[in-house]
Structure formats: C-alpha cells, structure tokens
C-alpha cells in the first residue's frame, strides 16, 4: 500500500536517503528543508524549521494538500562547545531546532492519523545521548527527543499509531563532516568507538527508519533502534 510521509531535514544526508528509499518503495514523500536539492524524489517545501510561526504556517498549508500517514523528525542542529564555554543562547538554539519542529509536526498530523487509526512517528536521535565530548546541547536535545518517543508511544498506544526512535552512529553526512573532517582527530575518536571500525552510510540508516514506518513494525512502539556499527554496546575485549 502506498502511503504519504513527511520528512524534516529532507534535502541531504539521512533525510534525503530516506526520501529516495521511500520513493523507490512506491510511497509519496513530502520533505521540509531550508535548501533545495535537484534530486529530491517528491515534494520538497522550503521553510525555516527554526521559526515556529513559519513551521506552523507550512504545516497548515501541507495538511490542506496531503493526507499524511506518518512523520520522520530528522532535522538537527549541532553546535559543539566545551563545557566551560557553553553559551545559553546556543543551548537554546540547539534545543529549539531539534525539538520544537518535532512537536509541531506530530501535533499537526496527529488528528488525521488518529481518525484513520494508523500512523507512524520516527524521531532521529543520536549516539551522543550516551555521552560525547563538546556535545552538551546536542546530546541533551537528542536525549529529550528519545524521551518524547517513549512518552508519545504510551499516550498513543491504543490508537494504531506507533512512535519510535532511530539512533544513528557516526554517519557519512554533511552534518557529520562539518564537525569531523576526513582524517581529523574527531573522526578518529568516533571510529575508535565503533566496533565495526567504519562510518555508516545514510541509506543504511534510512533502511532502519523505513522498516519502522512499515506495516511489519506494527507491534513495535516506544523503542530506540541503534544503527551504529555496535558503538552503543561498548568496546571489544580490553
């Protein structure tokens, strides 16, 4: 069955890989992003998800055009700062961009999904929730998003709507490379924590998300699926 999914942060990286995978499976994809991309396989709407008024207006417009079956909250913002230099405005910005659009999108789509008795919400968190250098703001935001997933899953458990999270490990995305260039100490630090000793590819993360959006995942809710090359389970033997 063809369904319609909303994906935030959809113009690159994991979001774009997911849109392409869903399109190949016959689904309709509506993406939200700040920048356009020529290879988006669906409807890409440009909006600033950091602006709550613009986000609300965009969602209202889309609800008049599409009947959504689910949403993937993928938009993210990283502002690395060491503990002693964490600035409150930066903390607020990171929390706002990672959390506010997710809440707004789910609230907008929720009435329709409840009415139809079927829906999927997947929140993209991060391995950094387990602890990471200079990620006070980002790790806190993604931990909150994981908590959203569990709380929403409980509230919606009898509605036919599932809510889950996918926690990627270090992945070959523009966002990762902005903070960890090839050959950098940051890249080596991440690779040292991954038992498989490599970065993930966006389509590998997209595959896990697509599964949670499917009918096959109908009895899975409130869970976080780690797609991280084993990084979340600890290191190999000392």
Residues designated as active site = 138
Contact (CB, 8 A) for 187 and 172: no
What is the DSSP annotation of 111-125? HHHHHHT-EEEEEE-
Distance CA(147)–CA(61), nearest Å, equals 29
Q: Which residues of 170-192 are buried (b: 16+ CB within 10 A; e: fewer)?
A: bbbbeebbebbeeeeebbeebbe
Q: 1 to each of 26, 69, 122, how far by Cα in Å?
A: 8, 11, 19
CA quadruple 124, 105, 67, 70: dihedral, nearest 10: 20
Phi, psi of 41 (to 5 degrees): -90, 55
């Amino acid at each position: 069955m063809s369904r319609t999914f909303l994906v935030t942060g959809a113009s690159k990286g994991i979001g774009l890989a997911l849109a392409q995978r869903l399109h190949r499976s016959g689904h309709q994809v509506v993406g939200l992003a700040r920048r356009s991309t020529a290879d988006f396989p669906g409807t890409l709407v440009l909006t600033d998800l950091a602006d709550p008024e613009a986000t609300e207006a965009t969602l209202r417009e889309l609800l008049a055009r599409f009947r959504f079956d689910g949403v993937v909250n993928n938009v993210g913002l990283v502002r690395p700062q060491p503990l002693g230099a964490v600035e409150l405005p930066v903390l607020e910005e990171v929390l706002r961009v990672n959390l506010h659009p997710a809440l707004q999108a789910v609230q907008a789509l929720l009435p329709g999904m409840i009415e139809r008795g079927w829906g999927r919400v997947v929140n993209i968190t991060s391995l950094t929730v387990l602890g990471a250098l200079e990620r006070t703001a980002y790790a806190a935001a993604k931990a909150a998003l994981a908590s959203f997933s569990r709380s929403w899953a409980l509230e919606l458990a009898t509605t036919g709507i599932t809510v889950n999270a996918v926690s990627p490990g270090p992945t070959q995305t523009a966002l990762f490379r902005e903070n960890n260039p090839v050959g950098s100490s940051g890249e080596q630090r991440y690779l040292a924590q991954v038992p498989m000793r490599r970065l993930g590819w966006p389509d590998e993360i997209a595959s896990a998300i697509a599964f949670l959006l499917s009918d096959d995942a109908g009895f899975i809710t409130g869970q976080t699926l780690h797609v991280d090359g084993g990084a979340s389970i600890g290191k190999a033997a000392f």
